[in-house]
Structure 1
Amino acid sequence: MKLKFLLFVMALSAMGPGRDAPPPDADSVPRSNPARLPPIAQSSTEPTDPVPPAAPEASFLDAADVAPEDFVWKQRPIVVFADTPGDPAFVEQLDALQRGAVALAARDAVVILDTDPSADSIWRRNLHPRGFSLVLIDKDGQIKIRRPSPWDVREIGRAIDRLPLRRQEIGRGSVLR
């Protein structure tokens, strides 16, 4: 019984003062001093629209120009292989990647294109593709996904967002920015 009474008294005291008092007088409410407010800048010219910052876009690089070591702990290479530049799967994948370049850039992705098997690039020696192939490599240099068919950028973005390193980046993103 004492416990119930004690809980009732605590709840009643937590409600605050009674509502029988009249509302405060308008003159008794403190207001900010208009003299202390910073002056409003008046411009004599017409205001101009601020220029929005340019959205970053993913880089498209030739496999012969770059090495896998160039991207370790910096960017996520998405390597697209084909036997010829006219391969329909390659053309479809390249079109999809170009349309989603902004989404890829937001995930620190760079697209590496390799359409010349005779050049025997370091990418081909390390990844051993057969015909068309898409390979996603994380920032730590490990191969995360291999696809033998074109893949939508939305799916690529979701796959990147599931990677442990990307999850760490997202977690830190709100703190550092």
Structure 2
Amino acid sequence: MQKIFAFLFMAVLAIPATAQQAEDANGMFDPQIVFSSDEADLSEFLWIKRPLIVFADTPADPRYIQQMEYISQRLDDLDARDVVVLTDTDPSANSDLRRKFRPRGFMLVLTGKDGTIYLRKPFPWDVREISRTIDKLPTRQQEMRERGGGS
């Protein structure tokens, strides 16, 4: 059974990697938006990106697998909203993110560009709902006005 979960986890991780390597019309690669928590620090994204943090006690957690499937299916929607996804599936590492947000098992956290926590969910959430939450944020409203209502 563990081999099945490991295979599913690897398959889920492969989908974003494939999507991120696709070239756009200018021949440039799409930016990577999914990172492990040990690869990034929240301060790197202040006023630049909206971190969406996915916590789980193991990558085999069915809720984590489902959340990552939701994310991988709609990477473009998240990228259009300046979202970066950080994952943390190792409680024993006691990362800075775990010390700050103190998750218990699975948890989804959305922070704004200013570092404010806008969403905490103990269960997977569809990217459409996450996008609606982001679109209601004052900074996102301002971005949409400045871009002429785009994205």
Instruction: Give the 5 Å matches for 1:86-101.
Output: 86-101=60-75
Residue 147 of structure 2 aligns to a residue whose secondary structure is helix
Mapped partners of 1:129, 1:115: distance in 2: 11
Q: Does 1:52 align with 2:25?
A: yes
Change (3 A) 1:58 1:163: farther
Structure 2 segments unaligned to the other structure (5+ residues) = 1-23
Selected match of 2:100 from 126, 131, 140: 126
Q: What is the CA RMSD across the aligned residues, in angstroms?
A: 1.7
Does structure 2 conserve the Cα–Cα contact (< 8 Å) formed by 1:136 and 1:143? Answer: yes
Does structure 2 conserve the Cα–Cα contact (< 8 Å) formed by 1:57 and 1:102? Answer: no
Q: Percent identical across equivalent pairs?
A: 45
* Moved beyond 3 Å, runs of 4+: 51-58
Mapped partners of 1:172, 1:55: distance in 2: 25
Given the two structures, how large is their TM-score scaled by the length of structure 1? 0.67
Show the counterpart of 2:8.
none
Deviation at 1:126, TM superposition (A): 0.5
Mapped partners of 2:32, 2:41: distance in 1: 17
Mapped partners of 2:32, 2:136: distance in 1: 19
Higher helix share: 2
Structure 1 segments unaligned to the other structure (5+ residues) = 1-50
**Structure with max Cα Rg:** 1
Show the counterpart of 1:76.
50
Mapped partners of 1:120, 1:160: distance in 2: 28
- Which residue identity lines up with residue 90 of structure 2 in the other structure? D
Mapped partners of 1:61, 1:140: distance in 2: 20
Change (3 A) 1:134 1:58: farther
Q: Does 1:149 align with 2:106?
A: no
Residue 136 of structure 1 aligns to a residue whose secondary structure is strand
- Which residue identity lines up with residue 72 of structure 1 in the other structure? L
- Which residue identity lines up with residue 87 of structure 1 in the other structure? D
Change (3 A) 1:162 1:56: farther
Given the two structures, how large is their TM-score scaled by the length of structure 2? 0.78
Q: Does 1:136 align with 2:106?
A: no
Deviation at 1:56, TM superposition (A): 4.2
Structure 1 residues 133-157: Cα deviation after superposition (integer angstroms, max 9, x where no partner): 0000000011110000000010011
